[in-house]
Structure 1
Amino acid sequence: MRHFDLAPLYRATVGFDQIADMMDRVLDNDPSTQTYPPYNIEKTADDAWRISVAVAGFSDEDLTVELRENALVISGRKTEENEGDKGQRSFLHRGIATRAFERRFTLADHVRVQGATHENGMLHVDLMREVPEALKPRRIEIAKANAPSNAGVLESDKVN
């Protein structure tokens, strides 16, 4: 795979560090190593999404959903006590992978985690974009050009 040096981009721009970091992450990831566990990302509304991760064989206690610096981190680790008695169990075929994993999703600004549910071997994480009032577009009224302005005029009875 080709490696791109983004150092000139860092020197020539100010405030676009997140974009350069995102490009670095995308270019450095090897897609063949990140196939487990499979997941879906669906858009449920204009400003809402759901990430569904197939976690067959994991219980609620084995799964962790964390938010770290605009990144959603979903990890799973089977503990030895949940594995059962390995000496008594003998698999002829083991197709359900229960190995440890960590999936990381970078979230855009103002995207918040609404909640997570685990049912029927699927972990669902609901996300929603909540734009603060200060960043929402607002309409500015335009004043008439012919209207007299009272900005610099003082009334005579208020002076003394």
Structure 2
Amino acid sequence: MITIIAAASENNALGKNNELVWHLPNDFKRFKSLTSGHHIIMGRKTFQSFPKPLPNRTHIVISRQENYNPEGCIVVNSMEKALEICPKDETCFIIGGGEIYKLGISYSDKIELTVVHHNFEADAFFPEINLEEWEITKSEFQSKDEKHLFDYTYQTYSRK
């Protein structure tokens, strides 16, 4: 199963200058819990935004740069090649950024989206979800608190 996992604001913002524009510790915990032990597919810029590779995950990085070969990663030049590497009987996750989500959404079976209830200025955006192709199968609202400056909702979409 191919699952997109993302956090985006109400205006589909993902981030600016290769950084998130919010801090939601519970969403980070959820991301870690869902993706640990799995293959994760990302673009080069997303990978480079990490201080180091994420533990207990197989990193597949899509890049057009020749000779790009970060230690501990599998580098490919297309979404198709990335998906070929993923075990067919396991869930793999597409984790961003914006261009990679656009490339991957047509291959995906499921979307795990955290909607941050705010509008942000951004330079990377999550693609529009076509509700004729997708349906929300689970939704869980989370209120802001001392560690979370914004309300947010975990939404699970399944392909119709």
Q: TM-score, normalised by structure 2?
A: 0.20
Structure having the higher Rg = 1
User: Where is the strand percentage greater, Structure 1 or Structure 2?
Assistant: 2
More relative contact order, 1 or 2 (CA 8 Å, 6+ apart): 2
Q: TM-score, normalised by structure 1?
A: 0.20
